[in-house]
């Protein structure tokens, strides 16, 4: 998993509330167990018409937001089913930070396990960032995980809270497997001792 420390990127505004995981990645794309390749189907039903042509008015289809790394969204983002494909699709598109007033708990935790920083801010601060994001590619929002701040293109700074353990994992690029591998030496020592004490196992 890639480390997340600081990010200066284009933010795409998506002021919809209750964006659920089926909107993020529809059920027909859940057959894969690979984390890569789902970015093209992110928000599939909003991005494409029935003939698979891009819908020009959808935010991520607009030229200024095609390389967005930050998503500024509405309340209760990631609600619905607990599919981990949702953060997979977001990350594969290239978005590594989502900013919203609130999230569904499972989606929120899945983000950290997949290298995405989900930031919770009060609605009035999200509104400021939403307006800033509407400026397009000329406006870059800065996110500093170590300092726990978000800064608008105009220099206005907001502070956010994040669990210290989740912060540690993101800043060091540690998913569940990475956390286990940190203890590899201890695991090997335990297995070696167990093999000596119980060679029949």
pLDDT value of residue 176: 65
pTM (2 d.p.): 0.87
**Ordered per-residue pLDDT tens for the chain, 201 residues:** 889 999 999 999 999 999 999 999 999 998 887 778 999 999 999 999 999 999 999 999 999 999 999 999 999 999 998 889 999 999 999 999 999 999 999 999 999 999 999 999 999 999 999 999 999 988 899 999 999 999 999 999 999 999 999 999 999 998 765 665 555 677 766 776 777 878 777
Residue 13 lies in a domain: yes
Q: Can you give the pLDDT at residue 184?
A: 60
Q: What's the CA gap between 154 and 139, in Å, rounded?
A: 8
Q: Of all residues in the chain, what percent are helix, strand and coil, respectively (each to 5)?
A: 40, 20, 40
Alpha-carbon distance 180 to 201, whole Å?
Answer: 23
Give me the CATH number covering residue 44: 3.20.19.10
**H or E segment to which residue 86 belongs:** helix 85-93
By CB atoms closer than 10 A (0-12, 13-18, 19+), residue 188 is exposed
The DSSP secondary-structure symbol of 41 reads: G
> Is residue 55, in this structure, part of any structural domain at all?
yes
Whether residue 158 lies inside any domain: the answer is yes
Q: Is residue 1 part of a domain?
A: no
Structural domain count of the chain = 1
Residue 87 counted as domain residue: yes
pLDDT at 192: 67
The boundaries of the domain holding residue 177 are 6-197
Does a structural domain hold residue 112?
Answer: yes
> Is 129 domain-assigned?
yes
Which structure tokens are listed for 15? 């002021």
Distance CA 115, CA 173 (A): 7
In-domain check, residue 57: yes
């Amino acid at each position: 998993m890639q480390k997340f420390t600081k990010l200066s990127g284009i933010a795409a505004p998506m002021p919809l509330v209750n964006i659920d995981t089926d909107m993020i990645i529809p059920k027909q794309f859940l057959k894969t167990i690979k984390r890569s390749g789902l970015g093209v189907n992110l928000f599939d039903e909003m991005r494409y018409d029935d003939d698979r042509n891009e819908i020009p008015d959808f935010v991520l289809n607009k030229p200024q937001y095609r390389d967005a790394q930050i998503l500024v969204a509405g309340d209760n983002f990631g609600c619905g089913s607990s599919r981990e494909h949702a953060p997979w699709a977001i990350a594969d598109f290239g978005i590594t930070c989502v900013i919203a007033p609130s999230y569904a708990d499972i989606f929120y935790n899945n983000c950290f396990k997949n290298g995405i920083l989900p930031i919770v801010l009060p609605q009035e601060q999200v509104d400021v960032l939403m307006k800033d994001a509407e400026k397009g590619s000329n406006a870059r929002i800065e996110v500093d995980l170590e300092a726990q701040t978000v800064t608008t293109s105009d220099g206005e700074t907001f502070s956010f809270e994040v669990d210290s353990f989740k912060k540690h994992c993101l800043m060091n690029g540690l998913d569940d497997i990475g956390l286990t591998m940190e203890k590899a030496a201890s695991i090997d020592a335990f297995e070696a001792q167990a093999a000596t004490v119980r060679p029949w196992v």
